[in-house]
Amino acid sequence: GNGIATIDLGDGSYPYTVSAGGYGDETGAVVVTGAPQTVNVTMAVATGINNIAKNPFKIYPNPAKGIIHIDLQEATKYHRLRITDMAGTVIFSQSVLRNKMVLDISKFSAGTYLIMLQNDNEIHIERLVVF
């Protein structure tokens, strides 16, 4: 069946895990920045590794220090790339203009960051570890 949960949260970054019997767990994070956020989670039947959703971008190297490369499958589908710290503070934000991006993260403090690729209906999130 369908389930809806509504939660009021203050600004920040919130990790979540959705679990349902017979389905694989779905995890992610939502960043609240003063505007209402909607997160749609589609559960996949837990039948094997083939059900893992493919992220539309790849970050390398990860962990990293200095320069990272971000390869996008469909740059035209997404309009914004953001990097936040784990407290939800936006460290970097840029329009997506091409399939390959090179970012200088040498001024980032060591720690874990979230890289978010966003359009009007979706947010895809990957963790980046800076050392």
Tokens of 80: 């914004």
Question: What pLDDT is attached to residue 79?
Answer: 82
Question: What pLDDT is attached to residue 17?
Answer: 74
Tokens of 9: 């949260």
Q: How far apart are CA 46 and CA 36, in angstroms?
A: 31
Residue ranges covered by each domain of the chain: 12-51, 57-130
pLDDT tens profile 48-88: 444 444 678 899 999 999 999 999 887 677 888 999 998 88
Average pLDDT over residues 107-128: 88
Q: How far apart are CA 105 and CA 64, in angstroms?
A: 8
Question: What pLDDT is attached to residue 53?
Answer: 47
Q: How far apart are CA 58 and CA 68, in angstroms?
A: 10
Q: Which residues of 97-123 are buried (b: 16+ CB within 10 A; e: fewer)?
A: eeeebebebeebeeeebbbbbbeeeeb
Question: What pLDDT is attached to residue 109?
Answer: 95
Average pLDDT over residues 39-54: 55
Query: For 57-130, which CATH class?
Result: mainly beta
